[in-house]
Amino acid sequence: MPRAIRRGPRYVKGKRSLLAPSPPGPLLAIRPETLLHPRPEGLYCPPGDFHIDPLRPVARALITHAHSDHARPGHGHVLATRETLDIMRIRLGEGFCASEQAIPFGESLTHGGVRISFHPAGHVLGSAQIALEWQGCRIVVSGDYKRRPDPTAEPFALQTCDVFVTEATFGLPVFRHPDPRDEAGRLLASLARFPERTHLIGAYSLGKAQRMIRLLRDCGHDAPILLHGALEKVTQYYEARGIMLGPLEPVAGSKGHDRAGQIVLCPPSALADRWSRRFADPVTAVASGWMRIRARARQRGAEIPMVISDHADWPELQQTILDTGAGEIWVTHGQEDALVHWCQQRGLAARPLRLVGYGEEEAA
Amino acid sequence: MNRFAALIEALAFEPRRLAKLTLMEEYFRSVPDPDRGYCLAALCGVLNLPTAKPALLRQLISERTDPVLFALSYDYVGDLSETIALLWPAPSGDPMRDIPIGTIVETLRRASRREVPGLVAGWLDTLEERGRWALLKLMTGGLRIGVSASLAKHALARFGQTEAAAIEEIWHGLEPPYASLFAWLEGRGGRPDPGQALTFRSPMLAHPVEDEDFDRLDPREFSAEWKWDGIRVQAAGRLRGNAAEIRLFSRSGDDITAAFPDLAGALHFDGVIDGELVVLEGETVAPFSAVQQRLNRKSVSARLMAEFPAHLIAYDCLFAGEEDLRALPLDARQGRLEMLVADHGGRLRPSPALAFESWADLAAQRAQSAGHPAIEGVMLKRLASPYLAGRPKGHWYKWKRDPGLVDCVLMYAQRGHGKRSSYYSDFTFGVWDGDRLVPVGKAYFGFSDAELIELDRFVRQNTTNRFGPVREVVHDARTGLVLEIAFEGLQASTRHKSGIAMRFPRIHRIRWDKPPGEADRLTTLQSALARASVPSGAPDA
């Protein structure tokens, strides 16, 4: 990771440092705000007359991924990847929008003179970054993203651009996600140590839960994993898309005495719910990037906090911003102050968009 | 450091006592000397290091991070050690290496003050995050992971398949990293000889007496004395010529001599005495709040010692000189105690025996003591009882005065831990001050499992607000839940909005029938507190 975060802009004689500000790019013919700007209902593109991940129902919406804070019901026409549309239907029901249109990764279409393309974001299955090009200006909206390997999501595909619109969920230098295999290893060690206890993992129902299952399989756990009812449909969809998750069983159908020594996955909210009382003496684990902060882990009642995140950590945010070559950075949601400060220290134009409403599904 | 870090992190997140014991036992089994010994010392809070002050750590991190990013991070994380551990820029290239806790402790002990910053920075560069966090916790003192010294020794006893008492008896003669102790526990060596060290012996504890017990207990076989509201201490002394070496141990075996130099300096005997540490105001035993002024201090000022002079009310004798008296009956030990402290000065008082003919007679005396704020009740001890470690049945009884009772209104509830993690089982309650409720305490026991389910249901159905794991429940004059709270005493407190703190509050009864408007008022507690603070006609020590 870049170390020299304490220093201001600096130039290394003879070669361009990774951390030095980019040389000014070609002057843009337009102000990027004419292509995309925030409105109370979300990011809006005037020439195309559409929104990206709008927070309220709109006529035309481009959706980066199917988490409920980004993918809300009630829009007129929705453009998204096949996976995102399918998962929206599973979670929101038929009729979640008036009409839908699927777009494959990497292909582009033009609407109102704006060239639109979707590129893998690596966040969850089907998650995309959305690139907009218009009059020589290219803006990429990252949605939520991560760059680490995850067999349950299409790998992040870097896009160069003039303006990079980034998330900052973990936009503080204290967030450096460890190797997820080590985190899963601690859970499996506990399972070996307390074989008579049920191991209950709280994980977000879309993305994290399926990644967690795959991770446990990759760490050698072959036994059936039990699923809370809220996870079943999305998990079945992942399997239908060819992601091998091994033997899975619904909690509802399993016998009480079988659950000792088994792994059960549920949404984080179910950990504190009466639902969790059916298990004998459970060990509570939580898989989330927030588990990095011990006070938050304790607040959640986690006995095994697993720092496993589907968002970019601080070094990934920095690296991605530099890799896009963008001269201007807009920060949508999260810990935007620190990331904006860091960009400005590097001579990048950066500003927070202060969009209210993102991050809610995963904070729940 | 990684093994130690993994252990203390697991302990910090583990609410169950048994699981904590398992974790520690496993650590002692799998980690070699001297690392496990230093870990044990850290768990017991007796690992003394040339402390790296928070100022040094702040300086080290400020040399390495942007001040704005540090401030934002610290604000978010809230804990200095953790913020630094998370923020510390790991040098790229060098693979992270583990450094055993033993190497760190021994190096720090040898290092000069000038060398410490460089050493610490070097280790932080080398360790991974968990290791950095553990190192910083170790250096800033106080792990705060919910493990007491006695729990750690308990785990050690399980590891060595022996009794915790057997470890306690030699503990204070040993030093970290306790190689001889581990050798003995693993059967590779003999039991370490504490030699001339003054050590702690596990104390004998009493059972609460139940009403039906009195039918089968013969008053002629018992002695009775006041149960003082101080702290249980064991004083170990040795005479060398005219000088006395004295150590004071708490009930759990912590050496608390440094907090009570006035008492330790005034004691002069050869043996081991069991008693109650109290503060005297003139010749009257002061309430517990006076003793509390003296607790948890590393050093103590002359003013504090003059204002709250510590005394020992002695009630038993375990050793006279080198002679172990514990197998003797109580009356014989008390005779030896009198001989041992016969010519002792005023800081040590024998516990006066209460004369009584019958249980009814004693009950009357116990009731009369109600006005005395430092008397919790009466102790009953079988005259024939040997001194046995732990809580043996049938020998000693505590007969506490009936608790105070007050009707409070449930205000907030928080989820419990472990088995109770899905139940709202920690309750904050208040009394009326004018037309609003002020919180006066918190209780998390006193109810049955069936009542817990009902309380949990009430909380879930009457939530008006949520703050993280805490729920606010409806509490106005007409709707809400009245809890009858039992408590052992009241203290003035500046930390509570109500100005009053309760000792040992628990839920005595759930008053489903009572409207909240009829719960007690703050003035009721205030006048009870005022009565308790003015000792009148109270027995002297």
CB atoms within 10 A of CB A359: 20
Query: CB-CB: which of A3, A178, A305 is closest to B13?
Result: A305
The mean per-residue pLDDT over the stretch B43-58 comes to 81
Question: Which of A183-187, A218-222, B83-87, B443-447 is the least confident region?
Answer: B443-447
Pick A256 or A176 by higher pLDDT: A176
- Every domain of chain B with CATH number 3.30.470.30 lies at 207-400
For testing contact with chain A, the best of B16, B29, B63, B66 (most A CBs within 10 A): B66
| pLDDT at residue A133 tops 90 | yes
Question: Which of A220-229, B84-93, B186-195 is the least confident region?
Answer: B84-93
Select, from the ranges A170-174, A249-253, B238-242, B530-534, the one with the highest average predicted confidence (pLDDT). Answer: A170-174
C-alpha to C-alpha distance for B12 and B146, rounded to whole angstroms: 6
pLDDT digits (tens, 9 = 90+) for A61-71: 999 999 999 99
For residue B419, the model assigns a pLDDT of 66
For residue A8, the model assigns a pLDDT of 34
Pick B23 or A14 by higher pLDDT: B23
A302 and B68 in contact by Cβ < 8 A? no
| pLDDT at residue B67 tops 60 | yes
Question: Which of B116-120, B168-172, B369-373 is the least confident region?
Answer: B369-373
For residue B469, the model assigns a pLDDT of 75
For residue B541, the model assigns a pLDDT of 42
Q: Where are the domains of chain A?
A: 32-174+311-363, 180-306
| pLDDT at residue A28 tops 80 | no
For residue A24, the model assigns a pLDDT of 45
Strands A114-120 and A108-111: antiparallel
For testing contact with chain B, the best of A303, A335, A336, A339 (most B CBs within 10 A): A303
| pLDDT at residue B540 tops 70 | no
C-alpha to C-alpha distance for B184 and B208, rounded to whole angstroms: 37
For residue A138, the model assigns a pLDDT of 97
For residue A6, the model assigns a pLDDT of 36
A101 CA to centre of own chain:
22
The mean per-residue pLDDT over the stretch B66-77 comes to 90
Strand-pair partners of B500: B492
Q: Which CATH architecture has domain A180-306?
A: 3-Layer(aba) Sandwich (3.40)
Residues in A closer than 8 angstroms to B77, CB to CB, are: 174, 293, 295
Alpha helices in B54-115 (DSSP H): 54-62, 67-77, 80-87, 101-110
Strands A263-266 and A283-287: unpaired
**Phi then psi dihedrals of residue A361, to 5 deg:** -60, -45
| pLDDT at residue A23 tops 90 | no
pLDDT digits (tens, 9 = 90+) for A314-327: 999 999 999 999 99
- Checking phi first, is residue B309 left (phi over 0); if not, alpha (psi -120 to 50) or beta? beta
Which 3 state secondary structure label does DSSP give B319?
strand
Specify the CATH superfamily of domain B404-531: Nucleic acid-binding proteins (2.40.50.140)
Instruction: Please check whether residue A218 is in contact with residue A251, taking contact to mean a CB–CB distance below 8 angstroms.
Output: no
For residue A256, the model assigns a pLDDT of 59
- Every domain of chain B with CATH number 2.40.50.140 lies at 404-531
Pick B403 or B34 by higher pLDDT: B34
| pLDDT at residue B355 tops 60 | yes
C-alpha to C-alpha distance for B23 and B20, rounded to whole angstroms: 5
pTM of the model: 0.75
For residue A26, the model assigns a pLDDT of 54
For residue B283, the model assigns a pLDDT of 87
Q: Would you place residue B194 in the very low, low, confident or very high pLDDT band (cuts 50, 70, 90)?
A: confident
Chain B residue with the nearest C-alpha to that of A279: B419
Strand-pair partners of A352: A331
Q: Do domains A32-174+311-363 and A180-306 have the same CATH topology?
A: no
ipTM value of the model?
0.86
Helix (H) or strand (E) segment spanning residue B471: strand B470-473
B66 and A342 in contact by Cβ < 8 A? yes
| pLDDT at residue A350 tops 90 | yes
For residue B268, the model assigns a pLDDT of 92
Instruction: Please check whether residue B137 is in contact with residue B143, taking contact to mean a CB–CB distance below 8 angstroms.
Output: yes
Question: Which of A49-63, A228-242, B524-538 is the least confident region?
Answer: B524-538
Instruction: Please check whether residue B490 is in contact with residue B501, taking contact to mean a CB–CB distance below 8 angstroms.
Output: yes
| pLDDT at residue A258 tops 70 | no
B207-400 maps to CATH 3.30.470.30: yes
C-alpha to C-alpha distance for A276 and A269, rounded to whole angstroms: 10
Closest-CA distance of chain B to residue A333, Å = 16
C-alpha to C-alpha distance for A214 and B103, rounded to whole angstroms: 39
Closest-CA distance of chain A to residue B163, Å = 24
Neighbouring residues of B402: CB distance < 8 A, sequence distance ≥ 6: none
**Average pLDDT of chain B to the nearest whole number:** 89
Select, from the ranges A26-30, A194-198, B90-94, B220-224, the one with the highest average predicted confidence (pLDDT). Answer: B220-224
pLDDT digits (tens, 9 = 90+) for B227-239: 998 999 999 999 9
| pLDDT at residue B461 tops 60 | yes
| pLDDT at residue B472 tops 70 | yes
pLDDT digits (tens, 9 = 90+) for B369-386: 877 878 889 999 999 999
For residue A254, the model assigns a pLDDT of 66
A300 CA to centre of own chain:
20
What is the token pair recorded at A202? Answer: 């709280």
Q: Which CATH architecture has domain A32-174+311-363?
A: 4-Layer Sandwich (3.60)
| pLDDT at residue A11 tops 50 | no
For residue B51, the model assigns a pLDDT of 62
C-alpha to C-alpha distance for A23 and A30, rounded to whole angstroms: 19
A272 and B421 in contact by Cβ < 8 A? yes
Which 3 state secondary structure label does DSSP give A249?
strand
Helix (H) or strand (E) segment spanning residue B525: helix B522-533
The mean per-residue pLDDT over the stretch B3-13 comes to 93
The mean per-residue pLDDT over the stretch B304-322 comes to 94
Chain A residue with the nearest C-alpha to that of B70: A173
**Average pLDDT of chain A to the nearest whole number:** 89
For testing contact with chain B, the best of A7, A172, A191, A198 (most B CBs within 10 A): A172
What angle in degrees, to the nearest 10, is found between the helix axes of B2-13 and B17-30? 170
The mean per-residue pLDDT over the stretch B17-21 comes to 92
Instruction: Please check whether residue B173 is in contact with residue B40, taking contact to mean a CB–CB distance below 8 angstroms.
Output: no
| pLDDT at residue B535 tops 90 | no
Strand-pair partners of A60: A77
The mean per-residue pLDDT over the stretch A266-274 comes to 88
Chain length of chain B: 541
Chain B residue with the nearest C-alpha to that of A273: B422
